[in-house]
Amino acid sequence: MPHYLQNENPDLLRAASTLAVFVEQAFRKAKAHPDMSPFEFTVLRLVAQFDPNGITAPDIARTFDVNISSVTTVLSRELQRGLITWEFPENSKKNRLVRLTQAGWSLLGDHDPLQAALVDLFGKLTAEELRQLFDMLIRLDPTQQRWRDLKHGIDFWR
């Protein structure tokens, strides 16, 4: 059972339920790519923040606190769809780097249902207010580097 369902704090339950419904509705409205999960779009968004340098699969797994096999499954699907490249950097065979292809950039720009929903919801917030949101997330979970990593990309989507 997910942690938020075990909590007796009604405000926490309401916030978790609201966010879950928000994400579900955003993806139900998506007609262009119903075969892609919210996590697959999330991975593309993260990869975009590290383009053109690229990001490794282990770094993606650490950022989202998921196991590497889940990430490699998603990356394999995105590679088959032509949304990413996943290649060794020049002069190294240590870690393959993930980068977006033009098709990946087009998909994010034109069809990302969660991005569209979040832009609609948070569109009136300034960059500073969005930074404050990430500062709050960092305070709530200071051990998680992923919030700091994502905060650096705030202005990327504006």
pLDDT tens track, the chain, 158 positions: 444 455 567 776 777 677 677 767 766 666 556 578 778 888 998 898 887 889 999 999 988 888 999 999 999 999 999 999 999 888 878 889 999 999 999 888 777 776 677 776 777 778 788 778 777 766 776 555 555 555 555 444 43
> What pLDDT was estimated at residue 74?
95
> What pLDDT was estimated at residue 86?
93
> What pLDDT was estimated at residue 32?
59
> What pLDDT was estimated at residue 125?
74
> What pLDDT was estimated at residue 81?
94
Instruction: Name the token pair of 84.
Output: 């990413």
Q: For residue 84, give the 3-state DSSP assignment.
A: strand
CA nearest 97: which of 83, 82, 85? 85
Which domains, ranges and CATH numbers included, belong to the chain?
3-124 (1.10.10.10), 125-158 (no CATH)
Q: Residue 40, Cβ neighbours under 10 Å: how many?
A: 19
Q: For residue 100, give the 3-state DSSP assignment.
A: strand
Longest CA pairwise span in the chain (Å): 54
